[in-house]
Structures are given as structure tokens and as C-alpha cells.
Amino acid sequence: MKHLRIGIVGCGNIAMTYMRNAALFPGVRLAACADIAPEQAALRGREYGIPAMSVDEIIASDDVDLVLNLTIPAAHFDVSMAALQAGKHVFTEKPLAVTAAEGRQLVEAARAGNLAIGSAPDTFLGAAGRLARRLMDEGAIGKPVAGTAFMMGRGMEHWHPNPQFYYQPGAGPVLDMGPYYITMLVSLLGPVRRVRAVATSGQAERLITAAGPFQGTSFPVGTPTTVMALLEFAGGAVVTLVMSWDVFAHGNHPIELHGTKGSLRLPDPDTFGGTVAISDAGAPWQEHSTAELLHGRINWPYAAPDRANYRMLGVADLAASLATDRKPRASGELALHVLDIMESILTAGLEDRTIEIEAAPDIRPAALGEAEAAALQGLPASP
């Protein structure tokens, strides 16, 4: 197979990034698109020169090898399962499904059909994630001992015209943003074996201040908006994870890891680039910008770029994995482990108990080397 033919289901805002980035990777080719709103699919089809179809047509099409599932989380399971049952490979936006039980069904269906399944986030494959992984694998901080991960802000109602769904079961800061942080941590530290957590909500209701039809109205909060968790990794490290939409301002770094030889600091894992910093045995931080590295160069948002966004990198890696008979790095199994962790965090927080995570000894993805990253984009390896 010279390239993987991609049928996109879900043509919202995130689809524009995937569709634009597809041109960067010769191993994938856009073949068709679909959306619950046919006019939206028709618009994207005209923009990228591909046919707009119905969801059923894409799933049944002989011209589609992989369904790229960019629907809302509540539809992830149904669309992905239908594609797998039709013999299609699948790559889905995060989370893999809204429950670990559903995610497990998807992984098992892919395995039974000898199909590949992958899931966002693929940000850990970007320049910053690759650099951090190389430093960890080289023993730059020694044996990892402790760490912190912070995602804190004021939530969505000040900018999103229809933010209610973010605050209901199946969403919240853990399920919405947790995949980026936890996937990066698993890539660097390996699988999690136990979680503890405390969960609360800062407000019973939220006031929508964003412009739009609901401006000035309030809605009830149905899921925790501040969760503090302790993740115990199978390798022995412990990491404090804080996910909150109840914070006006803070000075915490997104991720810091501390080991027996030094410390490592990472940028926001919801982007592909940024600055990685390392302190050798307490020495001043040495910062390493990734702005000139592959998949770290600033390219988004398009009108005024200020960060790196290379969504589709994980799909390109999945395409390459089919040619070499290996597991994709942003695999369904990895996404299932992350989903299991997130679900366990919420349960532990609500029920005030410790939860053991199902064993996943081989879940840590293989490191993506620079030569292989360049090859995914059809570029010669850097000297």
C-alpha cells in the first residue's frame, strides 16, 4: 500500500487541522468526508477536493482504508465500531470512548478483525515529546521518583457559546484534557498501576459570558471541575495530577519530572512543540527550544500562528505501522490504558478510595526517532 486512504467522519473545527496537515505526510491521502450536517461535509469536500458522503457510505466504501473519527465523544464508540465491523482501520479523536468498557470492546474488535486502531492524542510524538523521551531514555534524570502535572484554568463558558456539555458526565477537565497529560506521562514513565484522587466542584452553576444565544444564562454543573490525583507508576514513580476549571491564574509548569540525577520540565502537552528544560543535579535549568525542529515549528492557528500543531502525525505513524507489521505508537491499547486511568481517577475521587489499574506491561509506546519522524513526512533524516 503506497498510502492509506482516509475517510473523515466529522467535519467540525478539528477536522480542518487534520485535513490541512494530511498534505505533509505522503503515507496518507484524503479520500472522502462525512458529517451529520451534509452541508458541512460538502464545504470541506470542496475545500480539499474530495467527495462528501454519508457516514454509512464512507464506512462501506471500497475507496476508504481507514476511518478518521472526528465526531463528538458520545459518538466515538458507534462510529468506530461500525468502521471496524466493516473491515476498516480506525483512528479516533480522544477519548477512545466515553467508558473503558466501550474502549475495551473497540480494541478487542480491532484485534479480532486483524485491524489497526489508533487514537489521539498524538502530541507526544511531536518535537517536545520526542526530545523529552530521548532524555528520559538516556537517563538524564536518573531513576524517575516524583513529578507533577497541572492543567488549570477557568473553563469554557467565557469563550465557548455553548459550553454546557463540557460540564456534564463524560466530559469535565479530566476526560477533556487528561488524555494529553496522561498520555505524555505514560510515554515517559510507562504504565500506571494505582490511582487515588479527590474530586470537587467550585460552583454548582456556571454563568455563560461568551457571546452567543446563551450569553447571560446559567446551567448546572454535573461533573467534578477540580480533581487532584496521585498516580503510582509501575516503575515506581509517583506523580501528582491536578485538573481544574476553577482557577483564575497560577504559576505551575504543565509537567515536571524529578529523578535521582536531575529534573525535567515539559511544555503544554496539548501542543507538539515548546521548550523542554533540564536541571542536572540541581544546576540552573538548561532550556531547549523545539521551534526549529521537525514537528515543533510554529504553524497554528493559521491566521496568527503561535504554536505547533501537527495533528495527523499519529495517523501517518499508523499507516507506516501497517507496512512494517508493528503496533502504531498512538495505539488503541495506549488510549484504553489512559481511558482506564481517567475513569479510575473520577471513581476514586467520588468514592474516596484507591483503585488498582489493570496490568498493561507493554503499553509504553516505542520511541519515535528523528530519522523515522522525518521519513513519515517524506523528508531526509537530519544530519
User: Is the pTM above the cut of 0.75?
Assistant: yes
What's the Rg (C-alpha) of the chain?
A: 20
Q: How far is CA 195 from CA 68, 214, 233, 348, 352, in A?
A: 31, 37, 9, 7, 11
Per-residue pLDDT, 153: 97
Is residue 15 pLDDT above 60, yes or no? Answer: yes
User: How many whole angstroms from its chain centre is CA 224?
Assistant: 21
Residues 21-50 have pLDDT tens digits of: 999 999 999 999 999 999 999 999 999 999
Beta strands in 109-216 (DSSP E): 117-119, 144-152, 192-200, 205-207
Q: Compute the distance between CA of residue 14 and CA of residue 307 in angstroms, rounded to an integer.
A: 15
The helix-helix angle for 172-189 and 332-351 (nearest 10°) equals 130
Residues 130-148 have pLDDT tens digits of: 999 999 999 999 999 999 9
The helix-helix angle for 38-48 and 13-21 (nearest 10°) equals 20
CA torsion sign, 63 to 67 to 70 to 71? positive
Residues 291-338 have pLDDT tens digits of: 999 999 999 998 899 999 999 999 999 999 999 989 999 999 999 999
Nearest of 263, 259, 226 to residue 241 by alpha carbon: 226
Q: Compute the distance between CA of residue 67 and CA of residue 83 in angstroms, rounded to an integer.
A: 7
Grouping H, G, I as helix, E, B as strand and the rest as coil, residue 7 is: strand
Q: Compute the distance between CA of residue 197 and CA of residue 298 in angstroms, rounded to an integer.
A: 36
Mean pLDDT of 59-77: 96
The cell numbers describing 104, all together, are 475495551
Residues 335-365 have pLDDT tens digits of: 999 999 999 999 999 999 999 998 888 999 9
Residues 85-121 have pLDDT tens digits of: 999 999 999 999 999 999 999 999 999 999 999 999 9
CB 348 within 8 A of CB 192: no
Beta strands in the chain (DSSP E): 4-9, 28-34, 66-69, 89-92, 117-119, 144-152, 192-200, 205-207, 218-220, 226-233, 238-244, 255-259, 262-266, 275-280, 286-289, 355-356
In which residue are the cell numbers 503499553 written? 363
Per-residue pLDDT, 2: 77
- In the chain, count of helices (H) and strands (E)? 10, 16
Mean pLDDT of 235-254: 97
Q: How far is CA 298 from CA 37, 165, 381, in A?
A: 32, 31, 20
